[in-house]
């Protein structure tokens, strides 16, 4: 069955909305445990009850089952509060990893993600972020060429051994680690994934805003299914000439194909793209006047859904 553009949005932004059914939404959210950190006036993530039950908590944590609230409570006081809480969080994840508690931690990255919302810099191992349901950030770039046949887009196929293996992706994409600026992350990822030179990217890549969505992870993401993943992606476009050809540099992608807009749209309809990458392409089509109110009856809903207001604090400065 072919997917509509709205189907593609629903596949990725699949966490319920309050206004669809307030009673069901409130019942669902009230079943989650709220994750908090020092210096954050709001909750920074949701944890599923079964995750809380399996997590090997120690005496450096407060887990209130009545209030369904949990937060790190460092006890030695030797370092700054931010360092102490970061250590408590990542020590817990290391323990869970060593005990084999969660499959998602088998993909340990040794890469830290910032937990936004605090006035302190508190971080978490990337692979543990879906267990705590915090907002994560990434960068995505669509590279395109104007040819005699019209616009074409460079599309990579993900390596079969990776998450979402064999699916189509955006030209360049990657997670935003602590301490890295979005554009610098894009420059690095473009070199690692597509062999694009630093000069090429710095001269031609254009920032085009963000998209945001809230997903339940499925089996293609690796690890446990049903984990919560609210995300923000920084969006970039880069127009290049016909002489620029991306080439795989690491093990993330198998190859690159230069596809017409029709080929990209057909692959989207066939569900061949990684779900969040489909949203990035819809955003690209909207900004370039390819997807319009005249050819998409759900245009207003799609535009709105590509910029979901998340229930947690988001980045204010990077």
Instruction: Please state, in angstroms and rounded to a whole number, the distance separating the CA atoms of residues 227 and 223.
Output: 9
Instruction: Please state, in angstroms and rounded to a whole number, the distance separating the CA atoms of residues 18 and 28.
Output: 10
Please give the mean pLDDT across all residues of the chain: 96
| φ, ψ for residue 95, nearest 5 deg | -60, -45
Q: Could you read off the pLDDT of 155-188 as tens digits, one per residue? A: 999 999 889 999 999 999 999 999 999 999 999 9
Largest pairwise CA distance in the chain: 67
| Residue 169, CB-side half-sphere exposure with 13 Å CA sphere | 25
* Cα of 290 vs its chain's centroid, Å: 25
Q: Could you read off the pLDDT of 107-150 as tens digits, one per residue? A: 999 999 999 999 999 999 999 999 999 999 999 999 999 999 99
At 316 the pLDDT is 82
At 317 the pLDDT is 60
Q: Which residues of 169-197 are buried (b: 16+ CB within 10 A; e: fewer)?
A: bbbbbbbbbeebebbebbbbbbbebbebe
Strands 69-72, 61-64: pairing is antiparallel
Beta-carbon contacts of residue 272 (< 8 Å; ≥ 6 apart): 167, 168
Radius of gyration of the chain (CA): 20
3-state secondary structure of 254: strand
H helix or E strand, kind and range, residue 236: strand 228-239
Q: Could you read off the pLDDT of 256-275 as tens digits, one per residue? A: 999 999 999 999 999 999 99
Q: Could you read off the pLDDT of 40-98 as tens digits, one per residue? A: 999 999 999 999 999 999 999 999 999 999 999 998 777 898 999 999 999 999 999 99
Beta-carbon contacts of residue 213 (< 8 Å; ≥ 6 apart): 12, 13, 230, 231, 276, 279, 305, 306, 308
């Amino acid at each position: 069955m072919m997917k509509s553009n709205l189907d593609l949005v629903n596949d990725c932004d699949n966490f319920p909305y309050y206004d669809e059914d307030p009673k069901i939404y409130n019942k669902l959210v009230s079943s989650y445990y709220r994750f908090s950190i020092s210096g954050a006036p709001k909750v920074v993530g949701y944890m599923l009850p079964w995750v809380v039950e399996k997590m090997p908590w120690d005496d450096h944590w407060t887990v209130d089952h009545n209030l369904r609230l949990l937060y790190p409570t460092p006890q030695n006081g030797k370092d700054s509060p931010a360092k102490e809480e970061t250590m408590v969080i990542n020590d817990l994840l290391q323990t869970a990893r060593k005990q084999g508690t969660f499959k998602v931690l088998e993909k340990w990255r040794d890469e830290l993600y910032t937990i936004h919302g605090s006035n302190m810099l508190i971080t978490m191992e990337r692979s543990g972020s879906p267990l705590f349901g915090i907002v994560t950030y990434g960068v995505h770039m669509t590279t395109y060429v104007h040819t005699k046949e019209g616009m074409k887009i460079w599309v990579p196929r993900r390596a079969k051994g990776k998450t979402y293996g064999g699916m189509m992706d955006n030209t360049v994409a990657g997670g935003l680690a602590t301490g890295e600026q979005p554009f610098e992350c894009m420059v690095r990822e473009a070199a690692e994934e597509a062999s694009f030179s630093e000069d090429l990217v710095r001269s031609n890549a254009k920032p085009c805003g963000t998209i945001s969505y809230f997903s339940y992870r499925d089996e293609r993401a690796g690890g446990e299914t049903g984990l919560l993943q609210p995300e923000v992606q920084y969006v970039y476009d880069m127009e290049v000439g016909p002489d620029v050809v991306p080439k795989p540099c690491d093990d993330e992608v198998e190859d690159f194909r230069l596809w017409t807009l029709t080929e990209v749209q057909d692959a989207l309809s066939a569900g061949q793209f990684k779900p969040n990458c489909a949203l990035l392409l819809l955003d690209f089509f909207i900004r370039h006047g390819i997807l319009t109110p005249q050819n998409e009856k759900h245009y207003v809903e799609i535009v709105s859904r590509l910029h979901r207001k998340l229930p947690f604090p988001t980045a204010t400065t990077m």
